[in-house]
Amino acid sequence: MEARMTVRPGAGLFWLFIAGVMQGAFPLPMKFASKWKWEHLWGWYSLLAFVVLPFVLAWLTVPHLDQVYTKASSQALWSIAAFGILWGAGSVLYGLGIDALGMALGFSIMTALTTALGALVPLAVLTPDLLFRRSGVLIIAGNIVTIAGVAVCACAGEQRDRQRDKVGAPILGPARSFTAALIICIVAGALSAMFNFGYAFGEPLVRSATALGATRDDALNAVWLVMLPAGGLINLAYCAHLLRKNASADLLRRGGTVEWSSGAIMAVMWTGSVIVYGWGANALGRLGPTLGWSLWNAILIGTTVFCGLATREWQGVHGRPIRWLAAGIATLVTGMFVLGMGVE
């Protein structure tokens, strides 16, 4: 028998808060793995977060896992996998975007775009009856406010780079401009919205799992096991490309406890956040893919900005860039709450 969807707003908000904090803080260990290059840490993290942990969780929590996939339609499986591949490309660019613009600015810009697209498309496809009502107008308005916040943050970043000494600044490389880094973040944000599409349109697989005895929360692990490895392959392939291009495979041996544990902590925090997000979104019922997605991202943006400022990404910057950053972050968070309020 299929598990019925029970709406539990209090539990949903609690789990979304936990998920947002975990997701917002997961890149923090990247700052401490000094013996590895980006490709080493991201590759190790990707293997654990996108392949190993999803398999273990699905195997432990979803009864008759093999039958879940045989009973589901091939169209549903391929759709989820396709969303995973596109999201995986965005995930690679997410890592590069953090390296390019820093944790506070880069992560905030990418998350703003991901939130706007990830909320609007499921709204239009899954709940079209809300699109032209008051809630739909508010959600569209929230997207406009969110994009405005992206523009303000971009101005803050450009002014920051003009003001401060570039030595030690988090950039992709000497040949990369702020504009190039910003484009990377924008593309990453758009592609990363595919993650929520995989969740929102994974209902056929959830029904297959619940029919075989899984709870709705655990049934999502069957969705993650299709989507995350598909995206993980993109991440791992890119890391392998960099290892060959930079002839840096030998650096893996230099990794100590800090490097290996940093990647593992990132993986546990990221995958844990995804699982808990599923719990929170499920608890909101029909509104999960839109309201849950918006609130999750609003919370993680606040966490990300706090982490970025706490690790002194903006040290030495003063005056106008800081005021623009504060205005941009406030606009982003406002836009996301407008998105959330727009869903009935």
Using a cut of 0.75, tell me whether the model's pTM lies above it: yes
In the chain, the N- to C-terminal Cα span, in Å, equals: 28
pLDDT in tens, 173-225: 444 577 888 888 889 989 999 998 998 888 889 999 999 999 999 999 999 99
Cα separation of 5 and 3, whole Å? 7
Q: Per-residue pLDDT averaged across 49-55, rounded?
A: 96
Whether 249 shows a pLDDT value over 70: the answer reads yes
> What is the Cβ-side half-sphere exposure of residue 20, based on CA atoms within 13 angstroms?
27
63 with 212: CB under 8 angstroms? yes
328 with 146: CB under 8 angstroms? no
69 Cβ partners below 8 Å, 6+ apart?
A: 77, 205, 208, 222, 226
For 126, 136, 245, 281, 334, the CA distances from 130, given in Å and listed in that order, are 10, 5, 50, 18, 21
314 with 33: CB under 8 angstroms? no
The DSSP secondary structure of 278-318, one letter per residue, reads HHHHHHTGGGIIIIIHHHHHHHHHHHHHHHHHHTTTTTT--
